[in-house]
Structure 1
Amino acid sequence: MEYTQLGRTGLKVGRIVLGTMNFGPRTDESDSHAIMDAALDAGINLFDTANVYGWGENKGRTEEIIGTWFAKGGERRDKVVLATKLFGHMGPDGPVWPNHDRLSALNIRRAVDASLKRLRTDHIDLYQFHHVDRRTPWDEIWQAVDVLIQQGKILYVGSSNHAGWHIAQANEAARRRGALGLVSEQCHYNLVERRAEMEVIPAAQAYGLGVIPWSPLGGGLLGGVLRKERDGTSASGRSAEALANTTVRDRIQSYEDLLDKHGLEPGEVALAWLLSRPGITGPIVGPRTADQLSSALRAVELRLSDDLLSALDDIFPGPGQAPEAFAW
């Protein structure tokens, strides 16, 4: 496994990040434990989760599964850089009781203690804001974070789904307090969805944040969806909705045709493309099975030629340069 620095921290993390969203809802506890063991054996050390994973009435279940895995010992916890997230409320779906969601100091305090209990650990290495909270001032958020760091409950803080200006606003507020601020950003980024190149990734690079793309296969679009369709497996969910758009379908067909000529697997190329992009720490993969994890690991060893990268740009053109590039 290749390793890289997580932003401007001293943390060394693997170029593939283990996402755990499927643990509980789609992968049972035993298989989830087996996948985590296989990931650790392969050198993957950054495990990403969130307090709401498990969803619905089972919110928190994914953290619990990770916690029972840590409890098996074998230095599992010591070898893992543990990342979790907060924002959404943890009660039943429906109206939210005040101060039980978002990023108020009160909810941050409640959420971190609850996650620590489920995860069966005394600290979280990377505590991430799952979404932007437009109601809570950054000074309040950083004050709460300062306390948690002093207590030893968290080490670093990251963001998820933040715009470029949110990253700037957050880190300028932290700078005024003499704090480290955000060290990473999880953003929606893949060959199909490249808008993060406009401002999110440049902002992250300017402030020294590691970038951790989520949905690297575009909700399944980049995983050989049309090939599977020909084999009798219909697309579902977001993939099916996207493929109803003729332009999207044509691009995915061109993508798969291109990779067929090179004898390459679509999902592995999609991950390898992300690993080739500047500023990227590593994409989050959410394997439901050990085979899916093995496929993701092969992407780390895959080197894409300049000609292939150019052809991919032709199929999935990026958004172009950031607006600042057009200044006189």
Structure 2
Amino acid sequence: MEYRRLGASGFKVPALSFGTGTFGGVGRLAPWGATQVEEARRLIDICLDAGLTLFDTADIYSGGAAESVLGEAIKGRRDKLLISTKATFRNGEGPNDVGSSRFALIRAVEAALTRLHTDHIDLFQLHGYDAQTPPEEVLQTLDQLIRQGKIRYIGVSNYSGWHLMKALGVADRHGFPRYVAHQAYYSLVGRDFEWELMPLGIDQGVGTVVWSPLGWGRLTGKLRRGQPLPAQSRLHETADFGPPVPEELLYRVVDALDEVAAETGKSIPQIALNWLLQRPTVATVVIGARNEDQLRQNLGAVGWNLTPEQVAKLDAASVTTRAYPYWHQAGFAERNPPPV
């Protein structure tokens, strides 16, 4: 397993990390999976054997059950792995059970530490932007938690460019720790991330933690032009969670993936993941799995690389018209070169 620096920090993370959204099986995320402790231990064994040591979770995954399952499954080997978790989405009925206030963040971190059976979180990320709380309050609270040893590194998720840049400016102005990670949606059928957030990451030293790298289950190899959704596709239950994808774009990408699969002997998911691993700023790609077979398949995305010609083929198939002003800026590469 390749290890990469997380942004401009000295912290190294595996190129693939494991997402625990399938742990617990409670509530709205139940269609993702219902992995319990015994099976989770087996999946974690496979990950560790492959050198995958970073496990990503969140307080809203199955209402905290995902963190609890992970915490039970890693007992006795906490020192063998890294934990990333997230907070800020509503996780209770009270007026302060949401957001990034000092009250909410301290309580969220304390609750996560309890569920995970650990005394520290290696990477703590704000799951979404909170426009109701001043960034000074957010960063001062995270600084306090770092000084207490309860979290080691901080990041954000699902931020827009100005959200992240404003926070980095506040951190620099007051000497607070900087965000070193942005957990973001990015895939061959969702490349909006490249327009602003990727250049920002390069400029500011923010590494990308990619979520839903298979385009919300669309790049599993099961979707084909003119065919209905497979009976077992999670898109039946969770399509409303993810962004819409024009059918022609999806099938154009799938056609290109099929061509590369024939050339490489790799599966469509492995190719889609490997493409992401070659993109600028990407530090780690979060993979998920409901069972051993899916996990082993996804682990096969590392240890080899697509050729430049194959990358170019996938780039061409997945390109879309950018929103303004990005399409205008892209026309002047002399002044605005693309990320490399």
Q: TM-score of the superposition, structure 1-length normalised?
A: 0.89
Cα distance change, pair 232–70 in 1 and its aligned pair in 2 (3 A): closer
The match for 1:248 is 249
Q: Which runs of 5+ in 2 are unaligned?
A: 26-32
8 Å contact from structure 2 (residues 219, 254) kept in 1: no
Q: Any residues of structure 2 matched to 1:62-101 within 5 Å, and which?
A: 62-71=66-75, 73=76, 76-91=77-92, 96-101=93-98
8 Å contact from structure 2 (residues 258, 268) kept in 1: no
SS in 1 for 2:190: coil
Cα offset for 1:275?
0.5
The match for 2:192 is 195
2:178 to 176, 181, 193: 181
SS in 1 for 2:282: coil
Cα offset for 1:203?
0.9
Aligned length: 317
Partners of 1:239 and 1:178 lie apart in 2 by 42
SS in 2 for 1:143: helix
Partners of 2:41 and 2:228 lie apart in 1 by 31
Cα offset for 1:10?
1.9
Cα offset for 1:166?
1.3
SS in 1 for 2:306: coil
The match for 1:311 is 313
Q: In the alignment, is residue 24 of structure 1 matched against residue 24 of structure 2?
A: yes
Partners of 2:246 and 2:164 lie apart in 1 by 33
Q: Any residues of structure 2 matched to 1:32-71 within 5 Å, and which?
A: 32-54=40-62, 59-71=63-75
Partners of 2:60 and 2:210 lie apart in 1 by 19
The match for 1:151 is 148
Counterpart residue identity of residue 64, structure 1: S
Tell which deviates more after alignment, 135-144 or 310-319.
Answer: 310-319
Cα offset for 1:245?
4.6
Listed one character per residue, the Cα deviations across residues 203-257 of structure 1 (whole Å, up to 9, x for unaligned) are 1121111101111000111110236997993443366998995423532442343
Counterpart residue identity of residue 47, structure 1: F
Q: In the alignment, is residue 2 of structure 1 matched against residue 41 of structure 2?
A: no
Partners of 1:34 and 1:257 lie apart in 2 by 32
Cα offset for 1:162?
0.7
Partners of 2:73 and 2:298 lie apart in 1 by 22
The match for 2:267 is 265
Cα offset for 1:172?
0.6
SS in 2 for 1:174: helix
Cα distance change, pair 319–36 in 1 and its aligned pair in 2 (3 A): farther
Cα distance change, pair 304–188 in 1 and its aligned pair in 2 (3 A): same
SS in 2 for 1:281: strand
SS in 2 for 1:100: coil
Counterpart residue identity of residue 81, structure 1: L
Q: Any residues of structure 2 matched to 1:271-310 within 5 Å, and which?
A: 271-310=273-312
Cα offset for 1:288?
1.1
The match for 2:210 is 213
SS in 2 for 1:218: coil
Cα distance change, pair 110–276 in 1 and its aligned pair in 2 (3 A): same
Listed one character per residue, the Cα deviations across residues 274-328 of structure 1 (whole Å, up to 9, x for unaligned) are 0011111021001111211211221112311122111112211155667656469
SS in 1 for 2:216: helix
SS in 2 for 1:173: helix
Cα distance change, pair 98–308 in 1 and its aligned pair in 2 (3 A): same
Counterpart residue identity of residue 87, structure 2: L
Cα distance change, pair 35–171 in 1 and its aligned pair in 2 (3 A): same
Q: Any residues of structure 2 matched to 1:112-123 within 5 Å, and which?
A: 112-123=109-120
Partners of 1:315 and 1:51 lie apart in 2 by 37
SS in 2 for 1:82: strand
SS in 2 for 1:131: coil
8 Å contact from structure 1 (residues 197, 318) kept in 2: no
8 Å contact from structure 1 (residues 164, 204) kept in 2: no
Cα offset for 1:66?
1.2
Cα offset for 1:269?
0.3
Cα distance change, pair 38–228 in 1 and its aligned pair in 2 (3 A): farther
Cα offset for 1:176?
1.0
Q: Which runs of 5+ in 1 are unaligned?
A: none
Cα distance change, pair 163–307 in 1 and its aligned pair in 2 (3 A): same
Q: In the alignment, is residue 135 of structure 1 matched against residue 132 of structure 2?
A: yes
Partners of 1:111 and 1:117 lie apart in 2 by 10
The match for 1:226 is 223
Cα distance change, pair 115–311 in 1 and its aligned pair in 2 (3 A): same
8 Å contact from structure 1 (residues 259, 265) kept in 2: no
Tell which deviates more after alignment, 254-263 or 62-71.
Answer: 254-263
